[in-house]
Structure 1
Amino acid sequence: MDGHVFGEDSADIDWNTDDEVEILAGPVNSSQPTLTAMGNGEASTSAGVSHVSLINHFVGMGFSEKLVAKAIEETGVGDTEAILNTILTFVSLEESPEQPQQPLSMTSDPSSSDYDDMLVDELSDSGNWSENEVLSDEHKRLLMLENMGSISEEEKKLLALANMGFTVEEAAIAMKRCGSEEPITVLVDCIYAAQMVRESDCYMPEDDLKRIVGIVGSCKKRKYHETMKKKDVVEDPIRLPKPMIGFGVPSIQPERTSFRNLPEVARGPPYFYYENVALAPKGVWDKISTFLFEVEPEFLNCIQTAIGSAKLTERIRGWVESCEGDPPESVQRNVLEQCRKWNLVWVGRNKVAPLEPDEMEMLLGFPKNHTRGGGISRTDRYKSLGNSFQVDTVAYHLSVLKEMYPKGINMLSLFTGIGGAEVALHRLGIKLKNVVSVEKSKVNRDIVRSWWEQTNQTGTLVDYDDVQQFDTPVIKQIMDNIGGFDLVVGGSPCNNLAGSNRVSRDGLEGKESSLFYDYFRILGTVKDHSRLSQQM
Structure 2
Amino acid sequence: MDSSSIESNSIEWNTEDELDVDNISSSSSHQDQIADFAPSSSSCNCRGSNTIHQFLQMGFSKEMVIKAVKENGQNEGAVLDALLAYKTFEESPEDEHVLDDPCHAELASNVLDVYPDKEICENEEFKNLSTEKDRTVSLLVEMGYQAEEALAAIDRCSLDTPIAELVEFISAAQFAYHTDAQLGELSYDNKIHQHQKKRKFYDNEMRKLQKQRKYLEKQPMDHDNEIVHLPNPMVGFGVPNQPSPVLFQRRIPDEAEGRPYFYFENVALAPKGVWHTMSRFLYYIDPEFVDSKFFCAAARKRGYIHNLPIENRSQLLPTPPSTIHEALPHTKQYWPSWDKRMQLNCILTCIGSAKLTDRIKKAVEKSGDEPLPGVKKYVIQQCKKWNLIWVGKNKVAPLEPHEMEMLMGFPPNHTRGGGISRTEQYTVLGNAFQVDTVAYHLSVLKRMFPDGISVLSLFSGIGGAEVALHRLGIPLRNVVSVEISETCRKILQSWWDETNQQGKLIHFHDIRMVTAHELEKCMSTFGGFDLIIGGSPCNNLAGGNRSTRNGLEGSKSCLFFEYYRIIELVRSMMRHR
TM-score of Structure 1 vs Structure 2, range by shorter chain? 0.5 to 0.7
8 Å Cα contact 1:308-1:354 kept in structure 2 = yes
Q: Secondary structure at the match of 1:495?
A: coil
- Of residues 278-287 and 419-428 in structure 1, the stretch that sits farther from structure 2 once superposed is 278-287
Q: Secondary structure at the match of 2:259?
A: coil
Q: Which residue of 2 aligns with 1:382?
A: 426
Query: Offset of 1:472 from its aligned partner?
Result: 1.8
What letter matches 2:265 in structure 1? Answer: E
Query: Offset of 1:320 from its aligned partner?
Result: 2.4
Residue deviations 1:405-461, cap 9 Å, x none? 011000000000000000000001100000000000000001000000000000000
Residue 435 (structure 1) aligned to one of 463, 479, 496: 479
> How far, CA to CA, are the matches of 2:395 and 2:563 in structure 1?
44
> How far, CA to CA, are the matches of 1:331 and 1:251 in structure 2?
37
What letter matches 2:573 in structure 1? Answer: H
Q: Which residue of 1 aligns with 2:352?
A: 308
- Of residues 271-280 and 434-443 in structure 1, the stretch that sits farther from structure 2 once superposed is 271-280
8 Å Cα contact 1:235-1:282 kept in structure 2 = no
Match status 1:454 vs 2:493: no
8 Å Cα contact 2:435-2:465 kept in structure 1 = yes
Residue 261 (structure 2) aligned to one of 271, 283, 300: 271
Query: Offset of 1:342 from its aligned partner?
Result: 1.0
Match status 1:293 vs 2:287: no
> How far, CA to CA, are the matches of 2:224 and 2:547 in structure 1?
21
Q: Secondary structure at the match of 1:245?
A: coil
Q: Which residue of 2 aligns with 1:347?
A: 391
Q: Which residue of 2 aligns with 1:242?
A: 232
The TM-score, its normalising length taken from structure 1, stands at 0.54
What letter matches 1:522 in structure 2? Answer: I
> How far, CA to CA, are the matches of 2:542 and 2:452 in structure 1?
31
Q: Secondary structure at the match of 1:352?
A: strand
**Pairing 1:147-296 to 2, within 5 Å after superposition:** 236-254=226-244, 256-296=246-286
> How far, CA to CA, are the matches of 1:365 and 1:272 in structure 2?
22
**What CA RMSD, in Å, does the superposition of the two structures yield over aligned residues?**
2.0
Q: Which residue of 1 aligns with 2:443?
A: 399
8 Å Cα contact 2:536-2:556 kept in structure 1 = no
> How far, CA to CA, are the matches of 1:263 and 1:408 in structure 2?
26
> How far, CA to CA, are the matches of 2:374 and 2:560 in structure 1?
41
8 Å Cα contact 2:347-2:404 kept in structure 1 = no
Residue 467 (structure 2) aligned to one of 423, 430, 441: 423
Q: Which residue of 2 aligns with 1:319?
A: 363
**Pairing 1:59-98 to 2, within 5 Å after superposition:** none
Query: Offset of 1:254 from its aligned partner?
Result: 3.7
Give structure 1 stretches of 5+ with no counterpart.
1-231
What letter matches 1:382 in structure 2? Answer: Y
Q: Which residue of 1 aligns with 2:457?
A: 413
Q: How many aligned residue pairs are there?
A: 302
Residue 516 (structure 1) aligned to one of 533, 548, 560: 560
Q: Which residue of 1 aligns with 2:569?
A: 525
Q: Which residue of 2 aligns with 1:495?
A: 539
> How far, CA to CA, are the matches of 2:533 and 2:246 in structure 1?
29
Residue deviations 1:25-55, cap 9 Å, x none? xxxxxxxxxxxxxxxxxxxxxxxxxxxxxxx
Query: Offset of 1:337 from its aligned partner?
Result: 2.8
> How far, CA to CA, are the matches of 1:469 and 1:406 in structure 2?
31
> How far, CA to CA, are the matches of 2:484 and 2:256 in structure 1?
27
> How far, CA to CA, are the matches of 1:500 and 1:480 in structure 2?
44
Query: Offset of 1:299 from its aligned partner?
Result: 2.1
What letter matches 2:347 in structure 1? Answer: Q
What letter matches 1:237 in structure 2? Answer: I
Residue deviations 1:249-297, cap 9 Å, x none? 2241245344411111222211111111212333222221121112222
Query: Offset of 1:304 from its aligned partner?
Result: 2.3
**Pairing 1:37-56 to 2, within 5 Å after superposition:** none
> How far, CA to CA, are the matches of 1:330 and 1:250 in structure 2?
38
What letter matches 1:387 in structure 2? Answer: N
Residue 369 (structure 1) aligned to one of 413, 419, 440: 413
Instruction: Assess, with a 3 A threshold, how the Cα gap between structure 1 residues 255 and 395 changes in structure 2: closer, same or farther.
Output: closer
Query: Offset of 1:462 from its aligned partner?
Result: 0.2
What letter matches 2:422 in structure 1? Answer: R
8 Å Cα contact 2:405-2:429 kept in structure 1 = yes
> How far, CA to CA, are the matches of 2:274 and 2:530 in structure 1?
27
> How far, CA to CA, are the matches of 2:522 and 2:474 in structure 1?
21
> How far, CA to CA, are the matches of 1:404 and 1:235 in structure 2?
35
The TM-score, its normalising length taken from structure 2, stands at 0.50
> How far, CA to CA, are the matches of 2:245 and 2:458 in structure 1?
36
Residue 463 (structure 1) aligned to one of 502, 507, 523: 507
Give structure 2 stretches of 5+ with no counterpart.
1-221, 293-299, 301-345
Instruction: Assess, with a 3 A threshold, how the Cα gap between structure 1 residues 403 and 438 changes in structure 2: closer, same or farther.
Output: same
Aligned residues with identical type, % of pairs: 58
Instruction: Assess, with a 3 A threshold, how the Cα gap between structure 1 residues 521 and 233 changes in structure 2: closer, same or farther.
Output: closer
8 Å Cα contact 1:492-1:498 kept in structure 2 = no
Query: Offset of 1:316 from its aligned partner?
Result: 2.1
Instruction: Assess, with a 3 A threshold, how the Cα gap between structure 1 residues 406 and 509 changes in structure 2: closer, same or farther.
Output: same
What letter matches 1:276 in structure 2? Answer: N
Q: Secondary structure at the match of 1:496?
A: coil
Q: Secondary structure at the match of 2:367?
A: coil
Q: Which residue of 2 aligns with 1:481?
A: 525
Query: Offset of 1:348 from its aligned partner?
Result: 1.5
Query: Offset of 1:473 from its aligned partner?
Result: 2.0
Instruction: Assess, with a 3 A threshold, how the Cα gap between structure 1 residues 272 and 438 changes in structure 2: closer, same or farther.
Output: same
Query: Offset of 1:481 from its aligned partner?
Result: 2.1
Instruction: Assess, with a 3 A threshold, how the Cα gap between structure 1 residues 331 and 293 changes in structure 2: closer, same or farther.
Output: farther
- Higher relative contact order (Cα pairs below 8 Å, separated by 6+ residues): 1
Q: Secondary structure at the match of 2:451?
A: coil
> How far, CA to CA, are the matches of 2:408 and 2:467 in structure 1?
11
Instruction: Assess, with a 3 A threshold, how the Cα gap between structure 1 residues 487 and 262 changes in structure 2: closer, same or farther.
Output: same
8 Å Cα contact 2:431-2:537 kept in structure 1 = no
> How far, CA to CA, are the matches of 1:330 and 1:279 in structure 2?
29
Instruction: Assess, with a 3 A threshold, how the Cα gap between structure 1 residues 378 and 420 changes in structure 2: closer, same or farther.
Output: same
Q: Secondary structure at the match of 2:412?
A: coil
> How far, CA to CA, are the matches of 1:516 and 1:475 in structure 2?
18
